[in-house]
Amino acid sequence: MTIDQQPSPKEVMSVPVTGSRNARQMPVDLRGNRDWSSGLCGCYTGDDHEMDTCCTACFCPCIIFGRNKTRMDHLANHNSPEPSGGRTEGDCATHGIMSFFFIVGGCALQVPLRATIRDRYSISGSCLGDGCTSVWCYPCALTQEHIEISAEEHSFPRGVGGSSGVYYDDPKRVRRMSIT
């Protein structure tokens, strides 16, 4: 066979990199739905050590809401973790203004986000449940959503996560890549 008879080079096949939407292998029911990865008041139970997130959600919920919204939007649009860990500018400001002028304004923004998270991760529940949870247990609901998003982000293979050098291979922590 001569050089002229060899096949032309093919494009490199790329395999899409995805994270697990059930990273903690929660059991699913016959409809394919499951429970949340952590309990509503579970910010410090099991493997979830999210006291800093819980405290931030109690005293300044707009920050956690903004992070959760940004991270969910990035996962949905780019199928990869948000490289900066969740910027909060626009979503945080909107949430803060709504909460300042309306008593349950922040909850009105959070209910659709909670429903989106439930849909993405096939978590059982209802819009009424999302509303009640957001009104009565707001900081806990924000922390629970944060834990769920983090579980998917941590399930991405090494090197995924943008230019920040963050890689996700252990659901309990985020480590920085060392470049020597």
Domain boundaries, the chain: 50-156
pLDDT of the residue at 164: 41
Exposure string over 85-124, b if 16+ CB within 10 A, otherwise e: bbebeebbebbbebbeeeeebbbebbbebbbbbbeebebe
Residue 77 in this model has a pLDDT that exceeds 80: yes
Contact yes or no for 54/42 (Cβ under 8 A): no
- Kindly report whether the global pTM for this prediction surpasses the value 0.85: no
Per the model's pLDDT, the better-predicted residue between 146 and 163 turns out to be 146
Task: Kindly report the average pLDDT of the chain as a whole number.
Answer: 78
**pLDDT band at 48, cuts 50/70/90?**
low
Per the model's pLDDT, the better-predicted residue between 124 and 90 turns out to be 124
pLDDT of the residue at 117: 94
How buried is residue 153: exposed, middle or buried, by Cβ count under 10 Å (0-12/13-18/19+)? Answer: buried
